[in-house]
Amino acid sequence: MKIHFVNVRTMHHSAHSGYDRLMDYVSQAPLSTSRVWKKMSDRERKRAYHQAKEQISWYNLSDLEMETNVNALDPRVGKHVCHFLYGENSVYHIKKSDNPRKKIFVSFHQPPEVHQQFIRTREPLQSIDGLIVVGTNQIPFFEQYMDRSNIHFIPHGVDTDFFKPGPTTAKITNKVLFVGNWLRDFETLVAVAEILAAKAPEVVLDIVTLERNKLLFEGCGNVVFSSGISEDLLLRKYWEASLLFVPMKDCTANNSVLEGMACGLPIVTTDIGGMRDYLDESCAVLCNRGDAAGMAEAIIALLSDRKRSAELGARSREKSLQFSWPKVADMLRAAYQKSFEAQRDSGRRNPNCA
């Protein structure tokens, strides 16, 4: 089976982070530039691009090229899977494959409300053979538009060899780490910072996010702010922290949570979206959305109970191993194979369709 990954690199992800790390664990065959794409005039490309851009907010001209190359692939031998790793960016002009040797897979990452905000059409879903979700909260939405048997929950992975517990000497007492930007609940984060400043002034919030968010923390004397740091420094921050705090507005999978788990940190986060697909009360404290008082209380309680904090951290690391990239890659290959087997079984039941 030949796998052709269709990838859009997310620039804020570090070298050992992001969904496209799958490409390091699944053997792949590069897609060549098709004659169809080469023959398209600039005017044709521009028209097709703008048509897609009206429906797909994150669509780029490079996405049109990738879709065109996938549509042009017509294998004569073997089995081929074309897998769009970021469906929210890249899928509009894709055509249903009528070649039994070719399957179209797409991974979607956004919770339903966000998906509908940035993708205004469901029509391309009819051309997909396999849809990968990274949160079970996505399933009810997508099964409105395609057969449930073609929707696969395959969790997001994490590099458990790079993100791993550090030396105990690296720990800094009362340091709480926050990492990320997308769908983070900054209003609640700031409220928690203010509560901690009053109730536990010894606690330091180590904030790693985009530079544009810095103004949110003006007046928060217990915040240390960082942006654009190296991956090695990020890892050190995971090692230094006593716990990871990630309040969310919504989510499916979450890179920061997975990385914190892999580094053996107890987690305080929001009980929302797909969060429980990855953690539970054995390794985390899950709070209601916007409950700043409850989150601050959970942080103070964990920092004052080193035994419980260590237990949750150990279970975090243990649980993260379920999401190591080799295991996720095995699940993905199984989904590919299942798609071809379902087609074969269907052909046996309906000889005229074979």
Distance CA 310, CA 295 (A): 18
CATH of region 168-323: 3.40.50.2000
The domain ranges of the chain are 2-157+324-353, 168-323
DSSP class of residue 163 equals: S
Please indicate whether the domains covering 2-157+324-353 and 168-323 agree at the CATH topology level: yes
Distance CA 322, CA 167 (A): 23
Nearest-CA neighbor of 188 among 298, 295, 272? 295
Q: pTM for the full model?
A: 0.94
pLDDT tens for each residue of 184-235: 999 999 999 999 999 999 999 999 999 999 999 999 999 999 999 999 999 9
Query: Which residues contact residue 334 at a Cβ distance below 8 angstroms, ignoring those fewer than 6 apart?
Result: none
Predicted confidence (pLDDT) at residue 351 exceeds the cutoff of 60: no
At residue 344, the pLDDT reads 65
pLDDT tens for each residue of 9-30: 666 667 889 999 999 999 999 9
Predicted confidence (pLDDT) at residue 144 exceeds the cutoff of 80: yes
- Cα angle 112, 115, 117 (rounded to 5 degrees) comes to 110
CB 86 within 8 A of CB 92: no
Percentage of the chain with pLDDT > 70? 95
Nearest-CA neighbor of 114 among 268, 269, 270, 273? 273
Average pLDDT on 92-121 reads: 97
- Name the 3-class secondary structure at 275: helix
pLDDT tens for each residue of 225-266: 999 999 999 999 999 999 999 999 999 999 999 999 999 999
CB 48 within 8 A of CB 93: yes
At residue 9, the pLDDT reads 62
Nearest-CA neighbor of 189 among 292, 286, 271? 292
Beta bridge partners, 294, equal: none
Two structure tokens written together for 282: 């054995």
- Cα angle 97, 68, 333 (rounded to 5 degrees) comes to 50
How far is C-alpha 188 from the chain's CA centre?
22
Phi and psi at residue 317, in whole multiples of 5°? -60, -45
CATH of region 2-157+324-353: 3.40.50
Predicted confidence (pLDDT) at residue 353 exceeds the cutoff of 60: no
Two structure tokens written together for 235: 């890892």
